[in-house]
Amino acid sequence: SAVISQKPSRDICQRGTSLTIQCQVDSQVTMMFWYRQQPGQSLTLIATANQGSEATYESGFVIDKFPISRPNLTFSTLTVSNMSPEDSSIYLCSVQSGRSGNTIYFGEGSWLTVV
Amino acid sequence: AQTVTQSQPEMSVQEAETVTLSCTYDTSESDYYLFWYKQPPSRQMILVIRQEAYKQQNATENRFSVNFQKAAKSFSLKISDSQLGDAAMYFCAYSIYNFNKFYFGSGTKLNVKP
């Protein structure tokens, strides 16, 4: 399995500011994913980030609001821009890994509260 | 469109007893994967068990087993000998073979009573 570290674990942010979440994996992976989990809700995919190419965003998510970087095969960042209280969520990084690449593993999540 | 449905928002089980969590899904694909993930209060999503759709045999992982009914598009999770540490949100998830997308159900909160 892959070990995934996310920073920050938790933060309280002021409305209108931006915050960058970091995701570090202990092995090289091709596909990295960013999910949002709003309070009491299920997970929603924000975007897929492959190294060397632009991230692919899901419907309802745009690059200006959630810019993503993927500089190498072990690291990615997600920025939540111009935050509002509606952005208060857990943001999870996940990677495709395992034998045959057929399992998705998750980081511990970053819990953002926007005030 | 692919959808995953968990019809039980919350369930309770007595310690040491058995509980089954339900999941149904909708897909037109023939090659896909199904998963159960556990999310304890720590928020970490932990893989519990995985099932490949082409395999007829139900997956098992220690106290966790699934009942995979492909024709009925049903994928339930059975937890035997429930332990206090099993208390968590459980999410059923679906992915096509290339893992470009995962689809998650709404989750079932499992309470374990001592």
What is the pLDDT confidence band of residue A100, given thresholds at 50, 70 and 90? low
Nearest CA in chain A to B108: A42
Contact residues of A toward B, CB < 8 A: 1, 31, 33, 41-43, 45, 48, 90, 92, 94, 96, 101-109, 111
Instruction: Give CA–CA dist A40/A54, Å, rounded.
Output: 31
Q: How many CA atoms lie within 13 A of A75 on its CB side?
A: 5
10 Å CB burial of residue B112 (0-12, 13-18, 19+) is: buried
Instruction: Give CA–CA dist B49/B23, Å, rounded.
Output: 13
What is the model's pLDDT at position A50? 85
What is the pLDDT confidence band of residue B26, given thresholds at 50, 70 and 90? very high
Spatial contact of B78 and B67, defined as CB atoms under 8 Å apart: yes
The token duo for A28 is 């090289």
Instruction: Provide the number of CB pairs (under 8 Å) joining chain A to chain B.
Output: 50
* Interchain contact B42–A (C-beta under 8 A): yes
| Contact state of A45 with B101 under an 8 Å Cβ cutoff | yes
Beta strands A68-72 and A89-97, pairing class: unpaired
Instruction: Say how many C-beta atoms besides its own lie within 10 A of residue B102's C-beta.
Output: 22
What is the model's pLDDT at position A77? 96
What is the model's pLDDT at position A104? 84
Longest dimension (CA), chain A: 43
Using a CB-CB cut-off of 8 Å, the residues of chain B touching A45 are 101-102
The token duo for B44 is 């970490």
What is the pLDDT confidence band of residue A39, given thresholds at 50, 70 and 90? confident
What is the model's pLDDT at position B89? 95
What is the pLDDT confidence band of residue B107, given thresholds at 50, 70 and 90? very high
The stretch B49-72 carries a mean pLDDT of: 94
